[in-house]
């Protein structure tokens, strides 16, 4: 019923015995307070940014009701993906099964919203009561003209990362290669794992255009379903959110002969390195030359703007707590602003992301082992950083420690990718670190009364 996890090459990199390493193959302990979300969420993260598709969650209200339209993946056009669509399973569905309701729901959604495809997500409860997602989708397909795609990653399957991988399988087996593009650009690439959070993609695209690279498909930020179908005609895959979709690029390499590189567009260094790697992968002299010229110009421009900020931020110390590519890319990016990472931790990254972060950090830096609220508070007290860089779940706890905080995960409102993103990022860091509000919180009030003799 479920994708066989051993086929998702989890084993080759796991388990890591390093302190604080993400416990990919280990079970999260009940009650320890270090939840890493669930497989359903992981699958949703990868697929839901497909803007012109309908995303139907087959489950009780907890799965869709609490979470729809809560990520910052932006669209330049269709808004259908932001809708919360669910079968909202009730007691009678649990008793009698929810397949019939699901089939009708898919048909009704397709009729009402005219999507380009319907993604249908299993959840813990639908899986437990034995609803056969594949069969229901096939049945609904008879009445629906666009593809109906089952996504079988119920929450109890594991954490977010496993869900990412299941989504990769879905993309590979059911979507990519199902349509041909009208023309194929000689320098066509795919981004894999770029979700256009807060418009990140739009900060990278100007550079691609400047050097003459065509984005065939972005998986899946600001994506149109039909573009993803033609992704097999790209000449190169650029894996942006690091390892969570490695299974996808490896299979595309095997089946379609598309090589892949890994990269990041956070920070000047990583942006330039990734652009360079793309150009090098094509090996075209003209492209390489254009790329170098672009890098030279943009680096100089960007550095000139952030130099005054760097001068002020130099020597500040940060605690970093994030997932995916940001795990390691942020270490470099913060250093470009003169900020040292005192301690780093990760929940939703792969072991490889983690090792990369560790290698970049100062050997004396602390690796966060206890990722619960308790562990976080102890660490902040111990280290007294000048800045905390983490995601939305940590944001308000971080504020209670009266420490400058920057949200770099999916809840943020500003794009940080590419050269333009680096300027935005530098300004955001400076705004929080130098905000006048923090010192007000450290002053005791009312002042202690001193009695004059």
Residue 128 binding other proteins, by CB under 8 A: yes
Task: Report d(CA 340, CA 386) in Å as an integer.
Answer: 10
CA dihedral 136, 140, 146, 148 (to 10 degrees): -10
Burial class (CB in 10 A: 0-12, 13-18, 19+), 413: exposed
Q: Which of 69, 180, 289, 382 binds other proteins (CB under 8 A)?
A: 69
Task: Choose, by CB under 8 A, the member of 4, 30, 363, 443 that binds other proteins.
Answer: 30
- Which stretch, 230-238, 281-289, 336-344, 398-406, contacts other proteins (CB under 8 A)? 398-406
Find the radius of gyration of the CA atoms of the chain. Answer: 23
CA-to-CA distance for 121 and 44, rounded, in angstroms? 8
Subset of residues 87 to 116 that bind other proteins, contact rule: CB under 8 A: 87-94, 100-101, 104-105, 107-109, 112
Q: Closer CB to other proteins, residue 62 or residue 296?
A: 62
User: Could you give the C-alpha distances from 40 to 62, 122, 160, 230, 254, in angstroms and in order?
Assistant: 12, 7, 7, 26, 27
The reply on whether position 157 binds other proteins by CB under 8 A is yes
For other proteins, the closer of residues 82 and 250 by Cβ is: 82
Alpha-carbon span 125 to 136, nearest angstrom: 16
Residue 52 as a binder of other proteins (CB under 8 A): the answer is no
Judged by CB under 8 A, the chain residues 213 through 272 that form the site for other proteins are none
For 151, the enclosing helix (H) or strand (E) is strand 148-151
DSSP structure string for 122-135: --HHHHHTT--HHH
Indicate whether 286 belongs to the interface with other proteins (CB under 8 A). no
Comparing CB distances to other proteins, the nearer of 444 and 451 is 444
CA dihedral 81, 84, 85, 86 (to 10 degrees): 140
Is 35 an interacting residue with respect to other proteins (CB under 8 A)?
yes
Cβ-contact 101, 75 below 8 angstroms: no
According to the binding rule CB under 8 A, does residue 346 interact with other proteins? Answer: no
Rounded least distance, CB 45 to other proteins, Å:
11
Does position 38 interact with other proteins (CB under 8 A)? The reply is: yes
**Euclidean distance between CA atoms 24 and 449, whole angstroms:** 55
C-alpha angle 74-76-256 in degrees, rounded to nearest 5: 85
The answer to whether residue 161 forms part of the interface with other proteins (CB under 8 A) is no
Interaction between residue 36 and other proteins (CB under 8 A): yes
- Whether 99 and 110 have beta carbons less than 8 Å apart is answered as no
**Residues paired with 343 in a beta bridge:** 319, 366
The binder of other proteins chosen from 17, 31, 304, 451 (CB under 8 A) = 31
Q: What are phi and psi of 165, to 5 degrees?
A: -65, -40
Looking at the Cβ atoms of 300 and 442, the one nearer to other proteins is: 442
Contacts (CB under 8 A) with other proteins, residues 404-443: 411, 441
How far apart CA 429 and CA 22 sit, in angstroms, is: 27
Question: Which 8-state DSSP code applies to residue 73?
Answer: B
* 29 counts as binding other proteins under rule CB under 8 A: yes
Q: Which of 78, 373, 383, 428 binds other proteins (CB under 8 A)?
A: 373
Q: Does 393 bind other proteins (CB under 8 A)?
A: yes
Using the rule CB under 8 A, is 335 a contact of other proteins? no
Question: Which listed range, 33-41, 193-201, 319-327, 359-367, lies at the site for other proteins (CB under 8 A)?
Answer: 33-41
**How far apart are CB 132 and other proteins at their closest, in Å?**
15
Residues near 111 by beta carbon (within 8 Å), at least 6 away in sequence? none
Segment interacting with other proteins, rule: CB under 8 A, options 30-38, 194-202, 274-282, 414-422:
30-38
Strand 236-239 to strand 260-262: parallel, antiparallel, or no bridges (unpaired)? parallel
Which parts of 234-334 are beta strand (E)?
Answer: 236-239, 260-262, 317-322
Residue 113 Cβ vs other proteins, minimum distance, rounded to whole Å: 8
Please, what is the minimum distance in Å from the beta carbon of residue 436 to other proteins?
17
Task: State which of residues 20, 22, 49, 60 lies at the interface with other proteins (CB under 8 A).
Answer: 60
Count of other CB atoms within 10 angstroms of residue 183: 7
The answer to whether residue 67 forms part of the interface with other proteins (CB under 8 A) is yes
310 near other proteins, judged by CB under 8 A: no
* Smallest distance, other proteins to C-beta of residue 153, A: 10
Residue 276: CB minimum distance to other proteins, A: 37
146 lies in the binding site for other proteins (CB under 8 A): no
Cβ 252 vs Cβ 258: under 8 Å: yes
* Region near other proteins per CB under 8 A, out of 32-40, 172-180, 207-215, 234-242: 32-40
C-alpha span between 390 and 245 (Å, rounded) = 22
For other proteins, the binding residue among 360, 397, 427, 434 (CB under 8 A) is: 397
The footprint of other proteins on this chain (CB under 8 A) covers a number of residues equal to 74
Residue 154 or 263 having the CB closest to other proteins:
154
Asked if 156 touches other proteins (CB under 8 A), the answer is yes
Contact call for residues 366 and 390 (beta carbons, < 8 A): no
């Amino acid at each position: 019923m479920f994708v066989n996890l051993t086929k998702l090459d989890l084993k080759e990199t796991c388990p890591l015995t390093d302190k604080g390493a993400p416990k990919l193959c280990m079970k999260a302990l009940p009650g320890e307070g270090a939840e890493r979300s669930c497989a359903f969420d992981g699958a949703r993260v990868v697929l839901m940014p497909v803007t012109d598709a309908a995303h139907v969650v087959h489950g009780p209200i907890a799965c869709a009701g609490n979470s729809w339209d809560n990520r910052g993946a932006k669209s330049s056009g269709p808004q259908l993906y932001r809708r919360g669509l669910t079968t909202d399973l009730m007691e009678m569905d649990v008793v009698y099964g929810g397949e019939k309701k699901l089939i009708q729901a898919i048909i009704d959604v397709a009729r009402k919203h005219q999507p380009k495809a319907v993604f249908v997500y299993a959840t813990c409860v639908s899986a437990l009561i034995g609803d056969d997602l594949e069969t229901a989708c096939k049945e609904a397909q008879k009445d629906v003209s666009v593809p109906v795609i089952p996504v079988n990653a119920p929450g109890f399957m594991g954490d977010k990362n496993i869900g990412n991988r299941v989504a990769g399988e879905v993309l590979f087996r059911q979507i990519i290669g199902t349509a041909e593009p009208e023309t194929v650009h000689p320098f066509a690439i795919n981004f894999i794992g770029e979700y256009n959070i807060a418009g990140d993609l739009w900060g990278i695209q100007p550079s691609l255009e400047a050097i003459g690279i065509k984005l065939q498909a972005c998986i899946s930020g600001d994506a149109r379903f039909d573009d993803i179908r033609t992704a097999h005609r790209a000449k190169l895959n650029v894996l942006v959110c690091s390892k969570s979709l490695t299974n996808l690029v490896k299979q595309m390499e095997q089946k379609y002969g598309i090589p892949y590189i890994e990269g990041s567009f956070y920070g000047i260094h990583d942006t330039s390195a990734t652009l360079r790697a793309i150009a090098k992968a094509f090996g075209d002299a003209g492209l390489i030359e254009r790329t170098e010229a672009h890098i030279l110009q943009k680096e100089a421009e960007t550095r000139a703007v952030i130099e005054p900020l760097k001068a002020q931020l130099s020597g500040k110390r940060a605690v970093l707590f994030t997932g995916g590519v940001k795990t390691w890319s942020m270490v470099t990016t913060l250093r470009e602003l003169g900020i040292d990472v005192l301690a780093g931790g990760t929940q939703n990254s792969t072991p490889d992301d983690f090792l990369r972060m560790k290698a970049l950090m100062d050997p004396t830096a602390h690796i966060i082992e206890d990722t619960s609220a308790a562990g976080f508070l102890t660490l902040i007290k111990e280290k007294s950083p000048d800045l905390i860089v983490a995601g939305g779940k940590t944001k308000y706890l971080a504020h209670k420690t009266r420490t400058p905080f920057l949200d770099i995960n999916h809840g943020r409102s500003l794009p940080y990718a590419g050269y333009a993103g680096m300027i935005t990022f530098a300004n955001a860091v400076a705004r929080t670190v130098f905000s006048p509000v923090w010192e007000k919180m450290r002053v005791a009030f009312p002042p202690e009364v001193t009695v004059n003799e």
